[in-house]
Structure 1
């Protein structure tokens, strides 16, 4: 009597794939996975970010017709869009598909373009997760560029894993690579680097939610800095978005002459390494020489405590669509923090003397006194 053949569950298939591929090198994993019947129709998903060119180069050597899905959140750095076009052309990739949220979805969920400030998880879902899942619906498996060294949530990642967002399998050919492996591969193959890497961005996402990383920090420390968010939502473990609570920082003691940066999380030292566009509170935004759209950080000066023009200027910039960081500096005191946050400022720069006269609890209490402002921005002082 013939026995019924049982179909392995997806966890069993993933476990079997990891056993079968466990001694393979990255390019072998990629080459065999593209034609493995167990994996079916395969696409690659690439951010065209800091390390993406290594895996894209491998794809170009094996099969340039492999579908490559590029998610354009419409909030990316201009450098990323330029780099994406240059790399695709240089490597001869013939099926790069740009994935975006539909105009109707954006109009319904993010008409003002500020959802990243009020609810970053919802913004990622709108602009990344939903469009990607729609694009992946015709594929059985997808290739990612994730690596174990990129953070604790990825430290035990294997070549293959389940995709809880769909009945698919994720393929991670570079799972066991180190940062040195990536750098050596790119250098040895003379591949172009993302232009922001040299400016302190080892991990590059959307412009409003990505900041430079200092030496010694986690490579992904610049993604959603100051928030308990480490993943955009595309990648899950056990069906849940992964979060790592930030370690409690040591109290910051400002030295004379050292600027103090006030954020929702507390006082901190200057950590911005990129260019800054300084504007007076009465700056003319219609002046074409300002080149506001090219600035990733704008600092607005307050000449006196009573001068509210800086708040108006910040709000005008946000209404006009400016997505970079906004910093208030000069004569700004704790009582003005709620107004600064409501106007669109990300942070305030004060001097060490004011920081000693108005320590962090003063600023925290001012923020707590106006919870509606912070709630609107999806943040909470601590």
Structure 2
């Protein structure tokens, strides 16, 4: 059984493999009982082929998760198929949001033009969280030379509350990447030669001029620098959530590559049962003076769980016309509805309310999860109302782990 203490496991693994090279770290760690179930997450981007090739040699049956946002460059899709066919990887899974998820928030495919965060959330963040729910660790291509928090990167690092990250290339230099590709005659992503050192979705990626930061072509002209899978509690990393009960995703084989799986989630919810209800003992409260009922909704604030109190003067559905928001600026409390965790329009409504000068309390209601708490706070939401069943699945400590949103606000950090 795996040690539940992630820090202890990471320290043990780092000590065990401290003097190993990248290939040896990958090969030996994949069979190490202290690591558990492992997947590699790959964008099939500019440098992805290095780890994919290493994995194909060390453990070709390890799952590889590729997120198809359905807005990728055709060249990326062609490159993904080329690499999947060329390397002897036997379990490449293409992860997508379901048709229902997309139809709910982006029926005409234009969400990226008005709300890039919501677009990334529904097409990338949520599908990846779901796909990683069955793994104890995941392999990344992060490296120390990329700077920032990565300067002290270790081979193994904890990703609370459930997983470890494995960074086999942590100590590599840019020239090591090039040398490995050359020595193994690995194909380059075709867009690299056309000025795309960092490659994301086609509508939000542009070529980079000489001397510019390699990621300057992503969401050019906006303050956005990350797609969302690298933010947990405001930190520029990717972290897990306690998964909601979901049926096993359907896996279908797709021609012409026989080992390419397409994973499309089934979005039906399990029937309610007493097992999903929360008892008073399950609540970690900021205050013991008021004890909520076992089946009562809970308010999440920066200091923990609170019993539900107060009634909003106005409740705004996610499809509220932004032009009508000015009509509600005198309300003491406004509720912003989130009908699904994949629907990020409520974030935009809250941000617009604050930009219009609204000084009252904003409460999020509906289907937000712990990983979205920091984003909610950054756009001006004061508290999140969650049902008792969710509070039981994601107790207060998981929400508190995302409550340091001020210190780690990425836009403030970028501004210096």
TM-score, normalised via structure 2 length: 0.54
Query: Could you say what secondary structure the match of 2:131 adopts?
Result: helix
CA contact 1:163–1:236 (8 Å) conserved in 2: no
Structure 1 207/13 Cα, relative in aligned 2: closer, same or farther at 3 Å?
Answer: same
Give the Cα–Cα distance (whole angstroms) in 2 for the partners of residues 127 and 200 of structure 1: 25
Partner of 2:102: 106
Pairing of 1:192-271 with structure 2 (within 5 A): 192-236=187-231, 239-242=233-236
Give 1:267's aligned residue.
none
Query: Highest CA radius of gyration, 1 or 2?
Result: 1
Please point out which of 141, 166, 170 is paired with 2:165.
170
For structure 1, the residue ranges without an aligned partner over 5 or more in a row are 244-370
Match of 1:37 in 2: 33
TM-score, normalized by length of structure 1?
Answer: 0.59
Residues 239-262 of structure 1 show CA distances to partners (whole Å, capped at 9, x for unaligned) of 32439xxxxxxxxxxxxxxxxxxx
Q: What's the CA shift for 1:145? A: 1.3
The whole-number CA distance in structure 1 between the counterparts of 2:4 and 2:101 is 37
Which deviations, in whole Å up to 9, do the C-alpha atoms of 1:182-208 show, x marking residues without a partner? Answer: 011001110000000100111111111
CA distance in 2 between counterparts of 1:6 and 1:76 reads 37
How far, CA to CA, are the matches of 1:33 and 1:233 in structure 2? 28
* Change over 3 Å in CA distance of 1:236–1:148 after alignment to 2: farther
Q: Where does the alignment leave 5 or more consecutive residues of structure 2 unmatched? A: 238-351, 357-378, 380-416
Mapping for residues 260-339 of structure 1, pairs under 5 Å: none
Aligned to 1:72: 68
Aligned residue in 2 for 1:54: 50
Tell me the equivalent position of 2:139: 143
Q: Separation in 1 of the partners of 2:166 and 2:38? A: 9
Offset of 1:7 from its aligned partner? 4.9
| CA deviation profile, 1:265-307 (whole Å, cap 9, x unmatched) | xxxxxxxxxxxxxxxxxxxxxxxxxxxxxxxxxxxxxxxxxxx
**Pair 1:225–1:20, CA change in 2 (3 A):** farther
- Looking at structure 2, the residues matched to 24 and 173 of structure 1 have their Cα atoms a distance apart, in angstroms, of 10
Cα pair 1:151 1:220 within 8 Å, conserved: no
Q: Confirm or deny: 8 A CA contact 1:203 1:220 kept in the other structure.
A: yes
Contact 1:150 1:220 in 2 (8 A): no
Looking at structure 2, the residues matched to 234 and 189 of structure 1 have their Cα atoms a distance apart, in angstroms, of 30
| Separation in structure 2 between the aligned mates of residue 190 and residue 55 of structure 1, nearest angstrom | 14
CA distance in 2, matches of 1:49, 1:230: 17
User: Number of paired residues?
Assistant: 242
Once the two structures are superposed, residues 302-355 of structure 1 have per-residue CA deviations (whole angstroms, 9 ceiling, x without a partner) of xxxxxxxxxxxxxxxxxxxxxxxxxxxxxxxxxxxxxxxxxxxxxxxxxxxxxx
Segments of 4+ in structure 1 off by > 3 A?
Answer: 5-8
